[in-house]
Structure 1
Amino acid sequence: MNRNIIAAFAAIAIISGGTGYLLSGSEDASPDQAPATAPETATTPDSVAMTPERIKAADIALVEVGPGAFGSEIVAQGSIEAPPSGVAVLTAGAEGRITRITKQIGDAVSRGQTVARIESRDAADISGDLRAAQARAAQARAEYEREQRLFDAKVTAEADLQKARADYQAAVAAVDAAQGSAAAAGVTGRYVLVRSPISGSVTAAPAKLGNYVSPETELFRIANPNLVQAQVSVPVADGRRIERGARAVIEAGGQEIPARVRSVTPSANPESRTLTVILTPTAGRSMLTPGDYIRARITAAKGGEAGLSVPAEAVQSVGGRDVVFVRTDKGFAPRPVQLGARTSAAAQILNGLKPGETIAGANAFLLKAELEKGSGEEE
């Protein structure tokens, strides 16, 4: 009897527990209690608040979306160089000893300004040749004038006068040649004056006071900071799509400097198998320093697919979707986009953006991190 009672109570307890479990499960699934997956959807932020000051501090680039052809922009690496007319190498020009130096590295130099003086035996010889030529010319002139007077007085023959005239003209020519040699060598007396052929700044000055130098010894290098160009390399296939005068953008030091294509080499470099493209800045030359490495974006003359093109770094993956961050009044909002072709520099947008919208370009990954951080805090 007792055994039957105990069994009955056990059955009731089991049924009650099962009913409670069902009721509990039912309550967990009720709308009042959020399901396990609900917080992820409900708490994901739909924007990133950011002031213009924070955008600038984070160095987030703002890019205006515009219509264009994907693949019509060629990205190339290179460096800033001085064109042949923008740099000068000053040599001694004669054998001798440096007796005076007037400029050093960093100093400004005007065209024709003397930067050094060399005492030279060669200079003394050139000066001596000039003085001798001038003396012969003076004597030839006196002889010519004398023969002219005699001829006018009908004392001498016309042949003598013509010979005197020819001798004088030859002597004048010799003076001109000697003066040209002296000027070309920068000779004044026994000194050679080293002058700059361009205006600019001294970028190198190996000359030392008192040094004995030979004619080919380099003394100074002068560069004009306003005369610079970009030299970049592109694959042969891309080089065929670039035309002289095409627009380009030079990226240097966080700045974008407009430029034009000056020339494209007709043959490839035998080692790198690339073509060299020369870009001439149309503004912002003062922001470019010879020797700096740069990146350039060149507008191709042909090729490319219709659509919108954005910088590759503008596209971020959020929640398994490709998005770009569109500028809003309070910051940025992630916008899902449909991508087409992609390269290391750009991405083709098939759907999700409109021309004229402003998006985050470089450093857009910071917005992704901020978005995911906000999502994690709400969870």
Structure 2
Amino acid sequence: MSLIKCLTASVAFIAWAAHESVQSAEIAVSQAQIDRLEIHLEEARPATQEAVALLPATIIPPMNSRIAVPAPFAGTVVSVHVLPGQSVEQGRTLMTIASRELVETLSQLRQAEANLAVASAVAERYRGLAEKNIASPTRAAETEAQRAGLEAVVDEHRRLVSLGKIKTDPDGSYALIAPRAGRIVEANVAPGASIGAMQAAVVFDTSDELWVEAQLPASLVGKVHPGDSITLEDGTKGKVLSVGHTLDPKTRSSTLTGTIPGSAGVVPGQMVTLSIHRQAAISSVEVPAQAVVWLGAAPSVFVRTEMGFAVQPVVLKGKTLRAATIGGGLTAGQKIAVSGLAQLENMIGAE
């Protein structure tokens, strides 16, 4: 038992000694060597935000912002006036469709309107006769009921013709109209193709924003909140909209949804890398991500000194593809190496 304790103590001492040797290591490097090794320096600067997580994510359209414009009547596509990716204004003609169904519905509407006019005249006549006790009130009520029935038929046909606020032409064709301004996503049919009644003909997005969806590990649930800043790898900035509070039993993660500008240069379905940020502590500093190396099982940076460089262990609060947030061990204004780090690591053992 004492032998095990001795071995454990020896291992701990060796690890501590290695950490201390790295922590106190200072590497003598001349300016000529710095130039030859192409070691570049940057200053640590005060951090305004600290990285919380770096996650893979997918661009998705905002909820309820994607609109499908259906064809209310079956027919044949005559012409398509828009292309995917094109921006359209409200009221723009999207597609022209020739439809026998529309011709039949318009004919039925005109017939129903004519029948309604006759029924209204008859009902009016019998109402007047009933008031003078010339005709039976029951007969007057029957004609009024016939008029009401025909009025319902006319209303039904008018609603059919006005579906989607289409524009009808005398030749039996109609035009689909953009109900709102937006950007075309899909035009599902080509000229000459048949299209069914209420089939989606054109799909477009109406929002000037995009959403980004990621799976947040269980360890970060509760640490990320709506309103936290997010940044894509190209520098596009946005914010967290929502964080789910239920874990998927298979992935042990929760769904995070954020919003970014629609002008970000990405499209729905595209895979991106998302970094999440929050307000940094006053004492925190920010350095380029590549400046942080792991030495002696601790994150460290190479700080410029009069002789060369000193290895400085730091407290790493968060890291993204571009920057790392340091919570201790480094102060703003200190110059650190951001390139040539492998050569500096090799020089530690050579000292």
TM-score after normalising by structure 1: 0.63
**1:55-82 Cα shifts (integer Å, max 9, x gaps):** xxx9x999842377x7x72332212221
Give the equivalent residue in structure 1 for 2:227.
246
Matches within 5 A, 1:349-368: 349-354=327-332, 365-366=338-339
**Which secondary structure does the structure 2 equivalent of 1:255 belong to?**
coil
Aligned pair in 2 of structure 1 residues 100, 347: CA closer, same or farther (>3 Å)? closer
Q: Matched residues in 1 for 2:195 and 2:149: separation?
A: 35
Q: Matched residues in 2 for 1:156 and 1:62: separation?
A: 102
The amino acid across from 2:185 in the alignment is T
Asked if the contact 2:52/2:318 (under 8 Å) is kept, the reply is no
The amino acid across from 1:231 in the alignment is E
Asked if the contact 1:119/1:191 (under 8 Å) is kept, the reply is yes
Matches within 5 A, 1:1-379: 41=28, 43-44=30-31, 64-66=45-47, 73-184=52-163, 186=166, 188=168, 190-215=172-197, 219-224=201-206, 226-243=208-225, 245-252=226-233, 254-259=234-239, 261-269=240-248, 271-281=250-260, 284-290=261-267, 291-299=269-277, 308=284, 310=286, 313=289, 315-316=291-292, 322-323=300-301, 337-341=312-316, 345=320, 346=324, 348-354=326-332, 365-366=338-339
**Which secondary structure does the structure 2 equivalent of 1:164 belong to?**
helix
Aligned pair in 2 of structure 1 residues 358, 365: CA closer, same or farther (>3 Å)? closer
Query: Structure 2 unaligned runs (5+)?
Result: 1-26
Shift of 1:322: 3.2
Asked if the contact 1:80/1:288 (under 8 Å) is kept, the reply is no
Asked if the contact 1:198/1:222 (under 8 Å) is kept, the reply is no
**1:193-240 Cα shifts (integer Å, max 9, x gaps):** 333333222233342211223346554332346131111221133234
The amino acid across from 2:238 in the alignment is P
Q: Matched residues in 2 for 1:97 and 1:118: separation?
A: 6
Query: Structure 1 unaligned runs (5+)?
Result: 1-39, 49-57, 327-332
Shift of 1:249: 1.7
Q: Matched residues in 1 for 2:218 and 2:258: separation?
A: 17
Q: Matched residues in 2 for 1:309 and 1:76: separation?
A: 22
Q: How many residues align?
A: 303
**Which secondary structure does the structure 1 equivalent of 2:109 belong to?**
helix
Asked if the contact 2:285/2:327 (under 8 Å) is kept, the reply is yes
The amino acid across from 1:276 in the alignment is T
Q: Matched residues in 2 for 1:178 and 1:286: separation?
A: 43
RMSD: 4.3
**1:67-122 Cα shifts (integer Å, max 9, x gaps):** 77x7x723322122211333233444443211122222343222343211222232
Asked if the contact 1:88/1:198 (under 8 Å) is kept, the reply is no
Asked if the contact 1:134/1:175 (under 8 Å) is kept, the reply is yes
TM-score after normalising by structure 2: 0.68
**Which secondary structure does the structure 1 equivalent of 2:209 belong to?**
coil
Q: Matched residues in 2 for 1:116 and 1:334: separation?
A: 68
**1:113-135 Cα shifts (integer Å, max 9, x gaps):** 32112222322333233223322
Q: Matched residues in 2 for 1:224 and 1:46: separation?
A: 58
